[in-house]
Amino acid sequence: MIPNELLVERVDVLIAGSGAAGMRAAIAAHDAGAGKVVMLAKGPRRANHTRMSGGRYNVVTGLNPNDSNDAFFQDTIDSGVGINNYALTRILADESLDRLYDLEEYGLAWDRTDVTKYYMSMTGGGSYVRTIGSVDEGIGITEVMLHQMHARGIRICDFHMLVDAIKDDNGRVVGGLVLDLAKGVWRYFECSALVIATGGTSQMYETNSGPTINTGDGIAIAMRAGAELVDIEFMQFIPISFVYPPSARGYTLTEPAHYGKRHFDPKAEAAHLLNNKGERFALKHDPVRKEGSTRDILARAIMLEILEGRGTPEGGVLMVPDPDVFDSFLKERPIYVKRLLENYGEPQARLQAPIQVMPSALYTLGGVRIDAWCRTSVPGLLAGGEAAGGVHGANRLGGSSMPDIQVFGRRSGVAAAEDARAGGNPPGAGLERARARAAELTKPLGASSGVRPPEVKKRLQKLMWDHVGLVRSGPKLEETLRAFRETREQVLPTVKVTNKARVLNREWMESIELENILDIGEAMAAASIAREETRGAFYRTDFPQLDAQWTANLWVKRDGRNLNVEKHAVQTRVGPQPTEPTHKAELTLGEV
Amino acid sequence: MTMEKITVTAEIQRFDPSADKEPHFESFEVTGLANMRVLDVIRSVYENQAGDLAYQFACRIGRCGTCAVRVNGVSVLACQEKCKPHMRIQPLKPFPVLRDLVVDRTEIEARLEELKLAPLRTHEHPGMPEPITPKRAEELCHMDSCLLCMVCVSACPAVEERPFDGPAFMLKLRHMSKHPQDTRNRLDQAVEHGMLECFNCDVCTQVCPADLSPAQAIREFRQELMFGGKRPVEGRPG
């Protein structure tokens, strides 16, 4: 084969991402009548973030008489410190139950306390007992969805990495450039609608909780295609994650161990957190909820202890769990008991000894700006799930990502099917652009000397963790932004790939990820510099207070090599939602 | 204790089907924390010594099931297996190798698809919590923890010798046979996919990283086959 030949095929709806958002989009697009639907998985199809998650699902089922959709909505706005896109948050609260039943219909058996009663608990930041789940955590959700994909005959392409959205001369997305990693060949999928469901950016950070594939590819691709990012300065860090062994560092340690009796009772206390002086440092940050505080406050509190030298030699703090909740912990989360046993030891697994914990990058709160039907400002390009922004605002409730990716995964698929019906690009549209881009991205394969991609990636991950992470400041952000620009100008052109063989060439894949990481890293740093306050998961040491003037959203848009950061009023209008998407839904979000 | 360091030797199987006639081993020394996992060793080799190594992982915490390899002949998840002073690391058998430690799962996925694991329903979802007893729900959720990592299939002696898809596939079928809303005949499917070829050796249960028992699933199918074909429907309340 000629090295940069493109294998071209035509589909109706192309979906990038094999987590729940991508699968739900594919199922919905198929059910809404789309012809050929193809879903791309960057790795093997099971290598996704949903599967790694706790699978906890916030929903108002009527089983807790105190709870309501209004309360769920308000809780999400409060947790998001008022900068959520209210319309999207409302949809989350209102559609979460229907999507839950979809999963049950697909074959998922949620944990129960009675024949028609789900097992319910509380998770991070919530004020109601509203979270359901199952003992398999995120695995069952992904399995039952895969079964539905098969039942519909939807094609899944493993090891297919979306590299860029390709537009025609009118600015409409007409295809996706894809690197088939398993064969080492370029593919071009002409499509009428492209859905970005590639998840978040946790891999941009040295310590993270996500899968290795989550380098923010789709978000960067959407930005390069001209879409705006919203709230991209907001990254959620989970306070309680494993410190060792190295492979598990940063992986979420699960909240029931931390929440103790508070897992079921909003009035109860969570496990105490101690620094190396034995002090309960959380009291300084939240004297009322103490260690039961929200994820943003706790993660920051722990990070500050570590940064100020009051952590453990391994780089964590100590959590003193409540041994009384061991039995319910074992029943609800046996996988975690096993992990604690293997990683830390039996006393820790039995919740009888202090457990070392540290914060870790978990969830990308911002992302591609979408309307109620997941359309971006670029025709033909949609986004859903963690890759999209606005649903959760400045901080996310534990248990809300699962309904988000179901609700907006489905909406993106329905809208994509509609766009595909209306679409109809001439054959060959965008092909030349795709070919040129493929040639450009094949260059590192030919370089004989230079720097290897994993080295650059590590450098960027450290910069992100140190300066665009839990604790930020203007001068350090400026410095980091300069470092990113230098890396782009001076290092990226010198990246070389060791292996010239193209099959499963990890360095080659990473060389492509680097550009995505830099694109989003710059956007995050630039938006962080602009936001001169502290809010939710976002903390500036030089602006440590919440500022009402900043109850606003930042949109980041790329203009050639420049980034435009614009401040927009929060969209608080919750209009009646059209039951079916209109083809050309205008974005009715806030004005400057 | 957790900061203690060790040096291990990893002999890693290298094989590029497009260029090599047969696999060979390459030896690497890796120094790291004593509590590191096999995956940490593999990642270190890639990052510091062999940029051309092909390997696979995603979650590094025993959930995605994509990092399975053989270590000294035993099928394991690389992310969960503690490193040993001397390791011979090979791809899972008996699957075709894409390159080095990564196997081609195309046929595995095709088999799973063929099992039609979506529940075959006689009626639509009621739009309210579907009746399932808590005990049955717990059992189903436990069985849903199967990673499809293929560690059991790789370790199964019957798979090697006989026309048997392997333990994981039987577990998935048994799982659906217990689902109160599924009406497909899962026993027939199990037989069709080689269930009777199982030696009943229990190796699959011993190696399962998710602590499940495919062997028990097979025993239950066999009991059902011998003592009556009534599907267990006790999960669906009266």
The per-residue pLDDT for range A11-57, each reduced to its tens digit, is: 999 999 999 999 999 999 999 999 999 999 999 999 999 999 989 99
For residue A254, pLDDT beyond 80:
no
Judged by average pLDDT, the poorest of A77-81, B1-5, B126-130 is: B1-5
Partnered with residue A383 across adjacent β-strands are A196
Which residues of chain B neighbour A505 with C-beta distances below 8 Å? Answer: 52, 54
ipTM: 0.95
By DSSP bridging, strand B68-71 and strand A552-559 are unpaired
For residue A439, pLDDT beyond 90:
yes
Residue B233 belongs to a domain? no
Cβ contact (<8 Å) for A339 and B62? yes
Closest CA to A95 of A417, A402, A418: A402
For residue A584, pLDDT beyond 80:
no
Provide the domain count of chain A: 2
Which residues of chain B neighbour A136 with C-beta distances below 8 Å? Answer: 141-142, 144-145
CA-based nearest distance B125→chain A, Å: 6
Q: What is the pLDDT of residue A294?
A: 85
Last residue of a domain, one of B103, B134, B167: B103
The answer for A 461-520 residues in CB contact with B (under 8 A) is 497-499, 501, 503-507
Last residue of a domain, one of B76, B103, B130: B103
For residue B229, pLDDT beyond 70:
no
Partnered with residue A558 across adjacent β-strands are A563
Question: Mean pLDDT in chain A?
Answer: 93
CATH code of A448's domain: 1.20.58.100
Q: What percentage of chain A has pLDDT greater than the value 70?
A: 96
Helix axes A453-467, B38-48, angle to 10 degrees: 110
**Which residues lie below 8 Å from residue B188, measured CB to CB, with a gap of 6+?**
none
Q: A338 with A449, same domain? A: no
Closest CA to A191 of A169, A172, A163, A171: A172
**For residue B119, cis peptide bond before it (omega within 30 degrees of 0):** no
Distance between CA atoms of residues A434 and A5, nearest Å? 11
Q: How confident is the model at residue A583 (pLDDT cuts 50, 70, 90)?
A: very low
For residue A582, pLDDT beyond 50:
no
Residue A115 belongs to a domain? no
Q: B214 with B183, same domain? A: yes
Q: B113 with B223, same domain? A: yes
Q: Is A64 on the interface with B (CB under 8 A)?
A: no
DSSP labels, A406-446 = HHHHHHHHHHHHHHHHH--PPTTTTHHHHHHHHHHHTHHHH
Amino acid, res. A475: P
Q: Which residue range(s) make up the domain with A561?
A: 433-569
Residue B232 belongs to a domain? no
Which residues of chain A neighbour B52 with C-beta distances below 8 Å? Answer: 498-499, 501, 505, 507
CA-based nearest distance A202→chain B, Å: 12
CATH code of A326's domain: 3.90.700.10
Q: B162 with B63, same domain? A: no
Q: How many other β-carbons are positioned within 10 Å of the β-carbon of residue B125? A: 15
Assign 3-class secondary structure to B11-38.
Answer: EEEECCCCCCCCCEEEEEEEEEECCCEH
Q: Which residue of B has its CA nearest to A202?
A: B59
For residue A331, pLDDT beyond 60:
yes
Q: B99 with B116, same domain? A: no
Q: Let me know: does B100 contact A87? Beta carbons within 8 Å.
A: no
Provide the domain count of chain B: 2
Structure tokens at B80: 């969960």
Residue A138 belongs to a domain? no
Rounded alpha-carbon distances, angstroms, from residue B158 to A45, A158, B166, B171, B201: 27, 28, 8, 15, 9
Q: Let me know: does A394 contact A45? Beta carbons within 8 Å.
A: no
B104-113 pLDDT, tens digit per residue, is: 999 999 999 9
Structure tokens at B189: 């499917």
Which of B32, B113, B182 shows the shortest C-beta gap to A150? B113
Q: A337 with A437, same domain? A: no
Q: How confident is the model at residue B230 (pLDDT cuts 50, 70, 90)?
A: low
Q: B110 with B99, same domain? A: no
Residue B117 belongs to a domain? yes
Q: B140 with B126, same domain? A: yes
CA atoms within 13 A on the CB side of B139: 19
First to last CA, chain A: 52
Q: What is the pLDDT of residue B237?
A: 53
Q: Is A185 helix (H, G, I), strand (E, B) or coil?
A: strand
Residue A274 belongs to a domain? yes
Disruptive mutation site among A56, A95, A115 for chain B (greatest number of B CBs within 10 Å): A115
Q: How confident is the model at residue A587 (pLDDT cuts 50, 70, 90)?
A: very low
CATH code of B65's domain: 3.10.20.30
- Residue for token pair 């995050």: A524
B115: DSSP letter: T
Last residue of a domain, one of A302, A335, A360: A360
Cβ contact (<8 Å) for A506 and B105? no
Most confident stretch, A161-175, A412-426, A438-452: A161-175
Q: Is A459 helix (H, G, I), strand (E, B) or coil?
A: helix
By DSSP bridging, strand A13-16 and strand A37-40 are parallel
Which of B62, B133, B144 shows the shortest C-beta gap to A143? B144
Q: Is B37 on the interface with A (CB under 8 A)?
A: yes
Disruptive mutation site among B63, B113, B179, B212 for chain A (greatest number of A CBs within 10 Å): B63
Q: B214 with B160, same domain? A: yes
Disruptive mutation site among B141, B177, B233 for chain A (greatest number of A CBs within 10 Å): B141
When pLDDT is averaged across residues A129-151 and rounded to a whole number, the result is 95
Q: B116 with B201, same domain? A: yes
Judged by average pLDDT, the poorest of A220-234, A393-407, A571-585 is: A571-585
Q: Is B234 on the interface with A (CB under 8 A)?
A: no
Q: How many helices (H) and strands (E) does chain A have?
A: 18, 22
Q: How confident is the model at residue A257 (pLDDT cuts 50, 70, 90)?
A: confident
Q: B56 with B129, same domain? A: no
Q: B227: exposed, middle or buried (C-beta count within 10 Å: 0-12, 13-18, 19+)? A: exposed
Cβ contact (<8 Å) for B147 and A46? yes
Q: Is A111 helix (H, G, I), strand (E, B) or coil?
A: coil
Last residue of a domain, one of A311, A327, A360: A360
Q: Is A341 on the interface with B (CB under 8 A)?
A: no
Last residue of a domain, one of B64, B86, B103: B103
B40-67 pLDDT, tens digit per residue, is: 999 999 999 999 999 999 999 999 999 9
Q: How many helices (H) and strands (E) does chain B have?
A: 9, 7
Distance between CA atoms of residues A363 and A361, nearest Å? 7
Q: What percentage of chain A has pLDDT greater than the value 90?
A: 81
A320 backbone φψ class: left, alpha, beta (φ>0; ψ -120 to 50): beta
Distance between CA atoms of residues B222 and A373, nearest Å? 50
When pLDDT is averaged across residues A193-202 and rounded to a whole number, the result is 98
Q: What is the pLDDT of residue B58?
A: 96
Q: Which residue of A has its CA nearest to B106?
A: A158
Distance between CA atoms of residues A18 and A6, nearest Å? 23
Q: B147 with B59, same domain? A: no
For residue B98, pLDDT beyond 70:
yes
Residue A545 belongs to a domain? yes
A202-251 pLDDT, tens digit per residue, is: 999 999 999 999 999 999 999 999 999 999 999 999 999 999 988 899 99
A477-515 pLDDT, tens digit per residue, is: 999 999 999 999 999 999 999 888 899 999 999 999 999
Residue A460 belongs to a domain? yes
Q: B94 with B112, same domain? A: no
DSSP labels, A195-230 = EE-----GGGSSSBSS-TT-S-HHHHHHHHTTPPEE
Disruptive mutation site among B8, B35, B61 for chain A (greatest number of A CBs within 10 Å): B61
Distance between CA atoms of residues B167 and B157, nearest Å? 11
Last residue of a domain, one of A339, A360, A381: A360
Residue A288 belongs to a domain? yes
Cβ contact (<8 Å) for B55 and A137? no
Closest CA to B190 of B162, B165, B215: B165
Which residues of chain B neighbour A458 with C-beta distances below 8 Å? Answer: 47
pTM for the whole thing? 0.95
For residue B228, pLDDT beyond 50:
yes
Q: Is A3 on the interface with B (CB under 8 A)?
A: no
Residue A114 belongs to a domain? no
Q: A314: exposed, middle or buried (C-beta count within 10 Å: 0-12, 13-18, 19+)? A: middle
Q: Which residue range(s) make up the domain with B118?
A: 106-227
Residue A226 belongs to a domain? no
Distance between CA atoms of residues A88 and A411, nearest Å? 11
Which residues of chain B neighbour A47 with C-beta distances below 8 Å? Answer: 56, 58-59, 64, 66
A333-384 pLDDT, tens digit per residue, is: 888 898 899 889 999 999 999 999 999 999 999 999 999 999 999 999 999 9
